[in-house]
Amino acid sequence: MRSDDEIRRIIIKKKRRKARIRRALFAALLLIVLLIILPSRADTSFERDLIQPYGNPEASAPELKAKGVAIYSLDLDRHVYEKNGGERIDPYSITKILTCYLALEKLDPDKIVTIKKSNSELNYEDGAHINLIKGEELSVNDLLHGTMLASANDAAYALAIAVSGSEKEFANLMNKTVEEWGCENTHFVNPNGWKNKEHYTTAHDMAIITAKCFENEKLRALSMEKEYTIAPTSKNEEREFINVFRKSTSQIGNIDCGKTGSWTDDDCSIVLEYSEDHLNGAIVLLRDSLKKRPNDIKKLMKFSHEVTPGFTVASEGDIACESRVKGGAKTVVPLAMDKTIHLYPKNNNKKQIKVEIETDKLEAPLAKGSKAGTYKVMLDGEEAESGELLAAEDVEKGWIFSKLYISNNSAVVGAVIMLLALLLLTLLSKTHKKNNSAR
């Protein structure tokens, strides 16, 4: 039989154990309440999982009249589509972009050139010309405008003579230049694209030539001038002409530069560069028709978005991040993108895309669709796009605790848990007293 001292020690030990249990239970309940009612936190960083691959290199190409076709991604620095890309075809007047490129590289635009041969001597009467007369003097700038805007064959010839002294030597310079650029199936014998069995290119090569030539900003600007006037010379009257390329593409948007070429209405060519929704590309069409050419360009520009590898940074309505709302029934609101954004980083590298988020100080009531912040999309360290973040939900005014960023639901749950905790502690206390009375 136990002694009185042993019984007392057992009783004291039980009391201490129950006290520890009550304290632990109270602390656990208090922690739960605090976790629930603590001010809401929001993730204000951009949700990078939204950035997903975009573009399908295997996409089905549209039906086109042109014999040779190429789409060249200036962003990725490579071809993304070709039709008969390696087939040798007459380029015609798109040859002149290389002529003007070399003239700009080799000559001072203000230099005065004396015309060596009249247009009539060159037998270009049936082609585009500006009626140059032997012995008249014009600036290189005049000849550049005549070549690019009016597509004048005599002006291109005059530039070639000014650069190299002869048509043959200039053709050698042209061929050496494109060979250095990696064009293996191109050969030029004249500076203007006048038809010759030894003068040919491919859609593949011409896309490279287009990209390289239009790296020259002066040539880009020149190709998009609306019109030009050559002042009267001692041998000729004033000559005015409009840009043939701009006239041919006037119904097509987002074109940055380019040049047309043609032999007949059913045998035309064109090269151009365009920028559309952050996609920068070059298009080549060889042996197209004058009638089909504009529509073929539109088809290819649309198709280029499907076939060029890139990334969807986010789509309109995607939840990009969260922000806190002061005084709201809900104290955290998701923020949505205001538009869809596609980007085409070099080497197709997702890491080159960064999105910077700045959320506004929001206060309830807040309507769905209202501005809640801004973002900047950076591509390789430069801003590519910006826009607004929009509240993705309505947020009504909350109770008094919402001023501390405690939502109505959190306040209710916290209160319920506190009541349950007090009730449980009361029951434990009564049970303890009953046990003591029974002894």
Instruction: Say whether both 232 and 325 belong to one domain.
Output: no
> Are residue 199 and residue 325 in the same domain, yes or no?
no
pTM: 0.81
The residue segments making up the domain with residue 121 are 81-264
Which residues are bridge partners to 258 per DSSP? Answer: 272
One DSSP character per residue, 36-60 reads HHSPP----S--GGG-EEE--TTPP
Neighbours of 85 (CB within 10 A): 19
272 within domain boundaries? no
Residue 358 in any domain: the answer is yes
pLDDT number for residue 234: 93
Q: Cα dist. 220→100, 115, 124, 258 in Å? A: 11, 26, 26, 8
Residue 243: predicted pLDDT: 98
Per-residue pLDDT, 306: 95
pLDDT score at 389: 96
On whether both 86 and 164 belong to a single domain, the answer is: yes
How many independent structural domains does the chain possess?
3
Q: What is the pLDDT along the chain (439 residues), one digit of tens a residue?
A: 556 566 566 666 666 666 666 666 666 555 555 555 455 567 789 999 999 999 998 999 999 999 999 999 999 999 999 999 999 999 999 999 999 999 999 999 999 999 999 998 998 878 999 999 999 999 999 999 999 999 999 999 999 999 999 999 999 999 999 999 999 999 999 999 999 999 999 999 999 999 999 999 999 999 999 999 999 999 999 999 999 999 999 999 999 999 999 999 999 999 999 999 999 999 999 999 999 999 999 999 999 999 999 999 999 999 999 888 887 777 788 999 999 999 999 888 999 999 999 998 878 788 999 999 999 999 999 999 999 999 999 877 755 554 655 655 555 555 565 666 666 656 655 555 555 554 5
Closest of 81, 58, 86 to residue 71, by C-alpha: 81
Shared domain check, 131 and 196:
yes
Same domain assignment for residues 413 and 326: no
The residues, ordered by sequence, that sit 6+ positions from 94 with a Cβ below 8 Å of its Cβ are 193, 206, 210, 259, 260, 261, 269, 270, 271, 284
Q: Domain boundary residue among 247, 264, 281? A: 264
Distances (CA, A) of 419 to 399, 408, 413: 19, 17, 10
- Asked, for residue 66, whether it belongs to a domain, the answer is no
- Residue 71, classed as helix, strand or coil, is strand
Domain termination site, one of 264, 281, 300: 264
**Residue 199, domain member (yes or no):** yes
Residues 88 and 198 in one domain: yes
| Judgement on whether residues 162 and 224 belong to the same structural domain of the protein | yes
pLDDT at 265 (0 to 100): 95
Angle of CA points 286, 291, 294, to nearest 5° = 70
Report, in this order, helix, strand and coil percent for the chain, each rounded to 5: 40, 25, 35
CATH code at position 168: 3.40.710.10
Query: What is the model's pLDDT at position 307?
Result: 96
- In a domain? residue 306: no
231 three-state secondary structure: coil
**List of residues 6+ apart from 108 with CB closer than 8 A:** 140
The counts of H helices and E strands in the chain are 11, 18
- Which pLDDT score, from 0 to 100, does residue 438 have? 46
- Tell whether 393 and 434 lie within a shared domain: no
Q: Answer yes or no: is 85 within a domain.
A: yes
Please check whether residues 144 and 237 belong to one and the same domain.
yes
Is 210 in the same domain as 242? yes
Partners of 358 in beta bridges:
374
In a domain, 275, yes or no: no
**Domain CATH for 372:** 2.60.410.10
Judged by DSSP in three states, 350 sits in helix
* Domain contains 2: no
Whether 419 and 325 map to the same domain: the answer is no
Same domain, 163 and 107: yes
| Spatial contact of 276 and 301, defined as CB atoms under 8 Å apart | yes
